[in-house]
Amino acid sequence: MRWTLLAALSVLALVLSVVLGPAAVPLGELLHSDIVWNLRAPRALLAFLVGGSLGVAGASLQALVRNPLADPFLLGLSGGAGLGAVVAIALHLSGPWSLPIAAFIGALAALGLVYRLGLIGGASLDPRILLLGGVAIGAFAAAITTAIVSLADAAELRNAFLWLWGGLSGASWDSVLLVALYAPIPLAVLLAASRPLDLLALGEESASYLGADVERVKRRVYLAASLLTAAAVAVSGVIGFVGLVVPHIARLTWGHRHRSLLPAAFLGGGALLAFADTLARTVVAPRELPVGVVTALIGVPVFAMLLRRWTIA
């Protein structure tokens, strides 16, 4: 029942984002329209893949850092990606892929630094330090980003600022294909770790007594979830709250077993972002809102409700 509902919701979100848009395309011509085939369809699919990736990355990282309110972007990746993108904009790098590649490199750099910080206490990866290190690295990157933005001219500034709030307007079949080829690898790694992730909820010592190879699981999950987030941020900028709110709602409905939680978070995240992107494209048409604005406007109130629920329980 709940799976049927979620599948129906996913299909609905995809259909809506293909049907709706600033340009009126009659329903009868939907399948023959260039706008639909070249713009809306790849954009809907990219939104779904990115949202799903953020949902799964968020759910896994929450189990890893033992904090049900963690967001994939808490770990510094957004700061690194933002810095990479702004550097690319400031250097006037051209070509359709320069921005995503620069953002991806920035995210990887942040990932590497945070990972190194997580190992600062010795051979064991400390999730608490990952979280603190992520916040610190993110703040540091944001400071440099702001310094660069403050020196940029007005047009560049607007581009950089909009990029930081996320958007899927760069979607193309190429980017869909790229994500569709890339994302399944970290997704499979995380799905394979779903039982050890269940065990980690008991703490590292208990998890190891129940058969989990704790160090290996922590490293794999951190790297896979971060690589997934890095790809998402590279193609679509920083889209907050999908990776926080979706796993949370999925936990309320599917419980805490990651074997069903992770697939549910993927479909839920995909549906939410496809839906949010449809809103972002249509509410102020012909202009467009950054989709991160929409997810934050939806996500923050939901988050506040969840926070209240969590602290009362």
Partner 1 sequence: MTTELLRLHDVRYRYPGATEDALRGVSLSVAPRQFHAVLGPNGSGKTTLVRIALGGLTPLTGRADVIDRPASDWPRQDLARLVGVVPQREDNLFPQRVRETVLLGRYPHLSLWGRERAEDHDAVDHALAACDVAHLADRWLWTLSGGEYQRVRVARALAQEPKLLVLDEPGMSLDLKHEMGLFELVLGLVQAQGLGVLMITHDLNLAARFADSLLLLEGGRTVASGAPTEVLTQQTVETVFSWPVAMQTIDGRPQMIPLRQPKESGA
Q: Where in 204-263 is the site for partner 1 (CB under 8 A)?
A: 205-206, 208-214, 251, 255-257
Residue 178 or 191 with smaller CB distance to partner 1:
191
Nearer CB in complex with partner 1: 153/205: 205
Task: Please name the residue that has the structure tokens 């510094």.
Answer: 76
Query: How far is Cα 245 from Cα 127, in angstroms, rounded to an integer?
Result: 21
Query: Tokens 């069903």 — which residue?
Result: 260
Using rule CB under 8 A, residue 123 touches partner 1: no
Other residues' Cβ atoms within 10 Å of the Cβ of residue 259: 13
How does DSSP classify residue 37?
Answer: I
User: Among residues 46, 59, 54, 60, which one has the least CA distance to residue 73?
Assistant: 54
Where does this chain touch partner 1 (CB under 8 A) — which range of 161-169, 200-208, 224-232, 294-302?
200-208
Q: Is 27 helix (H, G, I), strand (E, B) or coil?
A: helix
In the bound complex, what is the minimum distance in angstroms from residue 245's beta carbon to partner 1?
A: 17
Least Cβ distance, residue 312 to partner 1 (angstroms): 13
- Of 147 and 192, the one with the shorter C-beta distance to partner 1 is 192
Q: Cβ neighbours of residue 247 under 8 Å, at least 6 residues apart?
A: 55, 58, 59, 62, 261, 265
Angle formed at CA 175 by CA 135 and CA 33, multiple of 5 degrees: 130
Residue 313 sits in the site that holds partner 1 (CB under 8 A): yes
Element (H, E) at 45: helix 41-64
Piece of 176-184, 198-206, 225-233, 301-309 that binds partner 1 (CB under 8 A): 198-206
Half-sphere exposure of 54 (CA within 13 A, CB side): 36
The least distance separating partner 1 from the CB of residue 75, rounded to whole angstroms, comes to 18
In the stretch 52-91, what mask flags binding to partner 1 with x, by CB under 8 A?
A: -----------x--x-x-----------------------
Does residue number 172 form part of the binding site for partner 1 (CB under 8 A)? Answer: no
Pair 21, 33: CB distance under 8 Å: no
Q: Which two tokens stand for residue 190?
A: 């995380």
Give the binding-site size for partner 1 (rule: CB under 8 A): 24
**Nearest approach, Cβ of residue 71 and partner 1 (Å):** 17
Figure out which of the listed residues 202, 285, 305, 307 binds partner 1, where binding follows CB under 8 A: 202
Q: Which is nearer to partner 1, 40 or 251 (CB)?
A: 251
For 123, phi then psi, to 5°, come to -80, -10
| CB burial string 284-300: b at 16+ within 10 A, e below | eeeebbbbbbbbbebbe
Instruction: Give the residue with the Cβ less far from partner 1, 210 or 297.
Output: 210
Q: Which is nearer to partner 1, 204 or 277 (by Cβ)?
A: 204
Cis peptide preceding 184, ω within 30 of 0: no
CB nearer to partner 1: give 41 or 212.
212
- What are the backbone dihedrals phi and psi of residue 220, each rounded to the nearest 5 degrees, phi first? -60, -45
| Minimal distance, residue 132 CB to partner 1, in Å | 18
- Give the shortest CB-215-to-partner 1 separation in angstroms: 10
The distance of closest approach from Cβ of residue 192 to partner 1 in the complex, given in angstroms and rounded to an integer, is 6
Output the CA angle 98-71-166, nearest 5 degrees.
35
Binds partner 1 (CB under 8 A): choice among 140, 157, 195, 223? 195
Residues that bind partner 1 (CB under 8 A): 63, 66, 68, 192, 195, 198-199, 201-203, 205-206, 208-214, 251, 255-257, 313
